[in-house]
Every structure is written in C-alpha cells, then in structure tokens.
C-alpha cells in the first residue's frame, strides 16, 4: 500500500492534496515534496504517462529470424535490438510488441488490440499476401492499423505485390528497412 504525502493542492487553493510517496521516490522523478500538485501533474512525467498513446507492433511469420534470415533483404539487426532504439524516439508512446508465426494468434492479437491501443503496426510477413482472415480482422476492428514491410515488396516477386490487408489498413509503408516501423509510429502519433 502506498504512503500518501500531503501536498498543497491546485492553484494554491489552500486545501491539501495527496500524492503517493512511491511516485515521489520514483527514480525518474526528482520531485520536491512541497511542490503543488497542479505543478506536478502539469509539468512532470506523470502527466506524460497519463497521456501516452499505446501502440502495438505485431510481427508475423519468420520475423523472429530478423538478423539471420536473408540479411541482404532484411538487414542484420534483430527486431528486439531495433525496438530498444525505437522506444526512446517516441517517449510519448507506450510500445508493446508481439510476434507469432501462427495466423490465428495474429488474428487474436488484432482483436484484443481493439479498444486497448491507439494504433497497431502490422507486418504480417508472408500472410500479407495470402491471409484473407487477417485482412478481415483488420477490417473488423476500429483501431487504426498501419501495414509495414521492411523490404520494398513491389521490387520483389509478383506474388508479393498483392496484399489482403492494405484495403482495410489506414496506410502501407514499404521498403525503408526497419525504419518503416518509425515511419508508421510517426503516422499513428502525429498524422
């Protein structure tokens, strides 16, 4: 249970406010215990966390092999390593990550994202070109979905030029390497 610390309330009204001592001791926040609670809420990371947009990145089949698989096409960086560099670029977002090689698990993740996330970045891998079911799941949810591809699918085999997802997605970003995910984040957060 948190210890509550008396703190002067909003706008110097004279009434007392309470804030968790755990928050005051959190290493990210150097907070003077005498700060007005209004200043704390308006000028601190607490406010940022309260207003963070939750974004879910879903990667499909074989994307767990990034860094090893076809490095001439997909690069030599693991997605988890890239994600560590992506998160600090968007401090106003809470980024979650899910990867599966199983079509049904991707559909489940999309359905669970509805109402919970502000946006989804979806790289369905090979399922992009074959899965009517994933396309239907994107169509069925209200959360905006950005379809992402690391490679330029239009510069590759003709079967990759077809997407079962694109028509239901907010947009498609393709061919910018792992930076495609950053571009999708910008679209969801700032467009």
Strand partners, 123: 59
Name the CATH superfamily for 52-190. Dehydroquinase, class II (3.40.50.9100)
| pTM greater than the 0.75 cutoff | no
The reported pLDDT for the residue numbered 39 is 45
The residue among 8, 9, 6 whose CA lies nearest residue 21 is 6
Residue ranges per structural domain of the chain: 4-49, 52-190
Strands (E), 129-176: 145-149, 171-174
**CA distances for 44 relative to 31, 38, 54, angstroms:** 9, 10, 19
> Other C-beta atoms within 10 Å of 152: how many?
14
The pair of structure tokens assigned to 144 is 């905006």
The reported pLDDT for the residue numbered 42 is 45
The reported pLDDT for the residue numbered 165 is 97
Residue 78's SS3 state is coil
Residues with catalytic function: 74, 149
> Where does 26-86 have alpha helices with state H?
37-43, 45-51, 71-74, 79-86
Query: What averages of pLDDT result for each successive group of 10 residues across the chain (191 residues)?
Result: 40 41 40 44 46 93 89 83 96 96 98 97 96 98 96 81 94 94 96 82
């Amino acid at each position: 249970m948190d210890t509550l610390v008396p703190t002067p309330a909003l706008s110097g009204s004279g009434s007392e406010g309470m804030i968790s001592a755990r928050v005051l001791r959190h290493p990210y926040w150097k907070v003077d215990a005498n700060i007005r609670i209004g200043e704390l809420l308006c000028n601190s990371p607490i406010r940022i966390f309260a207003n963070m947009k939750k974004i879910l990145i879903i990667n499909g089949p074989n994307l767990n092999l990034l860094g090893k698989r076809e490095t001439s096409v997909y690069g030599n960086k693991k997605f988890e390593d890239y994600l560590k560099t992506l998160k600090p670029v968007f401090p106003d977002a809470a980024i979650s990550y899910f990867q599966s090689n199983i079509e049904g698990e991707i559909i489940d993740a999309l359905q669970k994202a509805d109402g919970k996330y502000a946006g989804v970045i979806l790289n369905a891998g090979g399922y992009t070109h074959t899965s009517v079911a994933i396309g239907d799941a994107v169509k069925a949810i209200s959360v905006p979905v950005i379809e992402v591809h690391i490679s330029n699918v239009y510069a590759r085999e003709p079967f990759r030029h077809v997407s079962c997802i694109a028509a239901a997605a907010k947009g498609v970003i393709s061919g910018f390497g792992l930076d495609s995910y950053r571009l999708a984040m910008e679209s969801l957060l700032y467009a």
